[in-house]
Amino acid sequence: MPQIRILDSGDLRAVTRQLRTQADGKELVKELRTGLRGVLNPVRDEVKAAYRAMPKGAGRRAKGSLGSQLARATRTEVRTSGKLAGARVRVDGRKMPTGAKSLPAYVEGYKRPWRHPVYGNRDVWVTQPARPRFDRIVERHEDDVTRAVEQVLDGIRRKLEHR
C-alpha cells in the first residue's frame, strides 16, 4: 500500500523512552504527537486533494468515485512505541470498500495495471494504467518535513534538558 515513512523509528523510540522517565512525560509525548501530526497533516491534505481531483469515472455512485475513496483512505499515523514506531502518511487499503482494498497499490503503480469491465459490460474490458500521485507529492515535501520533524524533536529534547 502507498506509504512513505518520514521518521526513523529508532529516534522516535529513544525520545519516547526518555519522556517516559519524566514526571510530565505523558504531556510531552502528547506534545510530540501533536507536533508530528502538525508537520504531516498538510502533506496528507495535499495528497487527499490530488486524489479528489482525479477524473471521475462511472464508478459506483453509492460509494463515490475512486478518487474520493482514496482520499477517505489517506491518513496520518504517529506511533511512539512498538515495532512500527514512527510518523507516516499512508493510503490505508483497509479503509477502502470491500473488494477494493488493493486499489491504492494499483493506482500508484506498485502492482501491475489492472483490468476491469467498461461500465459493467463483461464483454468489453480495458487495462487501467497507473495514475500515481502519492509518491510525487510526498517526495516533493520530504526534505521540508524531515527538517520540521527534527525541529519538533529538538524542541522536546530542549524541554528534557531544562528539567
Phi/psi zone of residue 112: left (φ > 0), alpha (ψ -120 to 50 degrees), beta? Answer: beta
Q: How many domains does the chain have?
A: 1
Question: Residue 4: pLDDT band by 50, 70, 90 thresholds?
Answer: very low
Domain range holding 152? Answer: 3-161
DSSP the chain: --EEE-S-HHHHHHHHHHHHTSTTHHHHHHHHHHHHHHHHHHHHHHHHHHHHTSPP-S--TTT--HHHHHHHHEEEEEE-SSTT-EEEEEE-GGGSPTT-TTHHHHHHTSS--EEEEETTEEEEEEEEPP---HHHHHHHHHHHHHHHHHHHHHHHHHHHHT-
* pLDDT given for residue 68 in this prediction: 92
Answer yes or no: is pLDDT of 37 > 90: yes
Lowest-confidence segment of 11-25, 97-111, 147-161 by average pLDDT: 11-25
Round the average pLDDT of the chain to a whole number and report it: 83
Answer yes or no: is pLDDT of 59 > 70: no
In this predicted model, which residue has the larger pLDDT, 15 or 128?
128
* pLDDT given for residue 131 in this prediction: 85
Q: What are the tens digits of pLDDT across the range 116-158?
A: 888 889 999 999 888 889 989 998 998 898 889 888 888 887 8
**Burial group, residue 7, by CB count within 10 angstroms (0-12, 13-18, 19+):** buried
* pLDDT given for residue 1 in this prediction: 46
The predicted model scores a pTM of 0.79
- From CA 155, how far away is CA 108, in angstroms rounded? 35
pLDDT, average across residues 89-118: 89
* pLDDT given for residue 134 in this prediction: 93
In this predicted model, which residue has the larger pLDDT, 52 or 79?
52
